[in-house]
Amino acid sequence: MLLELVKIAKFPRSPWLAQVRTPFGGTMVRWCGDTTAEPGKYHVEWTVDEDIAWGRNAKPAVGVGPGVRTGGHCVVLRGRLNLTVDGAAVLDFDGTQILLDLADPVPEGVAGTWAELFIEREKIALHPYEL
């Protein structure tokens, strides 16, 4: 996914965090790239390091379409939730696929719907790459 890096910051007892903007919202998440990276456009891969539990950190989306925003100490990602054949899930986030581990199976009828994930910002990471 191509996004705009606004700035990188380090706070006490936290990893390096990046403030980022996308066409559908912005937030601050863990940065796994060069900590001296300049503001600008970057291609990134998103990873989520938390098991997804429907009703706890995953819920039906309010609205449709991709979205990202800050929700307190959490990042809220909105996308289509799809299931894999091996029991995991994938969030389709504006064409970017984010692989998710499920704590429990999702309820029947959830696959293919718009969902929102509420993940602590230190448990979502951006990994920049070059094309």
How confident is the model over 45-91, as pLDDT tens digits? 999 999 999 999 999 998 899 999 998 889 999 999 999 888 889 99
Tell me the pTM: 0.91
Q: What's residue 14's pLDDT?
A: 85
pLDDT at site 86: 86
What pLDDT sits at residue 66?
96
User: Could you write out the DSSP letters of every residue in 51-76?
Assistant: -B-BTTTEEE-SSSS-EEEEETTEEE
User: Can you tell me whether residue 125 is helix, strand or coil?
Assistant: strand
Confidence of residue 119 (pLDDT cuts 50, 70, 90): very high
In this prediction, residue 131 carries a pLDDT of: 82
Q: Cβ neighbours of residue 85 under 8 Å, at least 6 residues apart?
A: none
pLDDT tens digits, 13-50: 889 999 999 999 999 999 999 999 999 999 999 999 99
Which neighbouring-strand residues pair with 7? 19
CB 44 within 8 A of CB 129: yes
